[in-house]
Amino acid sequence: MEENRTEILVTGGAGFIGSHLIEQLLENNYKVTIVDNFDVFYSKEIKLKNISGVINNPYLKVIDIDILNTADLYARLTDQYEVIVHLAAKAGVRPSIEDPIAYQDVNVKGSQNMLEFARHKNIKQFIFASSSSVYGTNKNFPWKESDVALNPISPYASTKISGELLGHVYSHLFGIRFIALRFFTVFGPRQRPDLAIHQFSKKILNGEAINFFGNGSTRRDYTYVADTVQGIFNAIQYTRTPFEVFNLGNHHTISLSEMIHTLETVFNKRAIIKHLPEQMGDVPITYADISKAEQLLNYVPKTNFKQGITKFKNWLETQ
């Protein structure tokens, strides 16, 4: 007799964060269905490699569906899901400036499609991947979820705010518990190849110049992927209130100059720097107040920046 396992639907589950999450879910006796359209933003082969360690697990299904295709969603997702973790999105601040309509379609309409799916399938727990970018140029550091002064400066950021607001509507009208998790610059093994740490690491190893935007003073609240995944995992269990927003950061900022110095130290190689002006859409600092997540999600980041970079280096050397 098959053991009774809670089934979770994870959109974008073959991506960087999603692949780590599904491993943890399977280790903790969940059934998992991945919905992923293997968007060409980066290689399908990378995503398939992300999930290669669990692809033969009998409690995992991988279904290639675009969340904009509602007919496919209803025709092919026929199991009894108890939770949706919605990670699928068009990612990246800078690309969203080039193609804002596509970001609006996937990130807003796609999120609404998944909320409608939850409503029609009577799925009562919905976890939404939001972003620190929603705070934009808010100068009230560290950023608190209770601060309503959201000042987004990219189309990507605006789509994440829209997703949170849609969640509030569906929570209020249809009784879906909606948990928005604002991720802060997640890094670690399997990080997307377009992201700075991954790009810079490869350029240092190959002796190529790094594009260094601005004066190096911009700061990011880097969060190691295992800490982010633990926050998502705890949010899946959360039942106290019908709607919440949580910061999942590290409550510690690292400047661009410090980040490159740490890479140089861990990789034991000097970086070649190409100085360029600041880029549109980039905020000067991201900095999370995580006290709410600590209190309500038992969220405690455990990996500091240098430790995380060392783990990333160890992974990169195996690729």
pLDDT in tens, 238-275: 999 999 999 999 999 999 999 999 999 999 999 999 99
pLDDT value of residue 278: 83
SS3 category, 157: helix
Name which of 27, 224, 295, 182 is nearest 8 in CA terms.
Answer: 27
pLDDT-based confidence at residue 142 (cuts at 50, 70, 90): very high
Q: How many helices (H) and strands (E) does the chain have?
A: 12, 13
Q: Which of 42, 66, 2, 52 is nearest to 22 (CA)?
A: 52
The rounded mean pLDDT for the chain is: 96
- Percent of the chain with pLDDT strictly greater than 90: 90
Q: Which domains does the chain have, with CATH numbers?
A: 7-183+224-249 (3.40.50.720)
Mean pLDDT of the 202-228 span: 94
CA distances from 47 to 67, 184, 214, 303 (A): 17, 21, 32, 24
The yes-or-no verdict on residue 2 having pLDDT over 70 is no
Give the pLDDT band (50/70/90) at residue 315: very high
Non-local (6+) Cβ contacts of 273 within 8 A are 209, 210, 212, 260
b/e map 209-239, b = 16+ CB within 10 Å: ebebbeebebbbbbbbbbbbbbbbbbbbebe
156 catalytic per annotation: yes
Q: Residue 282: its pLDDT value, please?
A: 77
Pairing of strands 83-86, 125-131: parallel
Find the helix or strand (DSSP H, E) in which 276 lies: strand 272-276
pLDDT (0 to 100) of residue 280? 74
The SS3 of residue 287 is: coil
Residue 207 has pLDDT above 60, yes or no: yes
What b/e sequence results for 265-279 when a residue is b if at least 16 CB atoms lie within 10 Å of its CB, and e otherwise? Answer: ebbeeebeeeeeeee
What mean pLDDT comes out for the span 75-103?
96
- CA angle in degrees (0–180, nearest 5) for 257-259-261: 70
Residue, of 202 and 282, whose pLDDT is higher = 202
Mean pLDDT of 31-57: 94
- Whole-angstrom distance, CA of residue 73 vs CA of residue 135: 32
What pLDDT shows up at residue 260? 96
Q: Which of 156, 222, 224, 287 is catalytic?
A: 156
d(CA 312, CA 310): 5
Stretch among 203-217, 223-237, 302-316 having the lowest mean pLDDT: 203-217
The confidence score (pLDDT) of residue 1 equals 37
Please, what is the Cα angle at 235 between 259 and 56, to 5 degrees?
Answer: 85
Task: Provide mean pLDDT across the span 22-32.
Answer: 98
Q: What is the pLDDT of residue 224?
A: 98
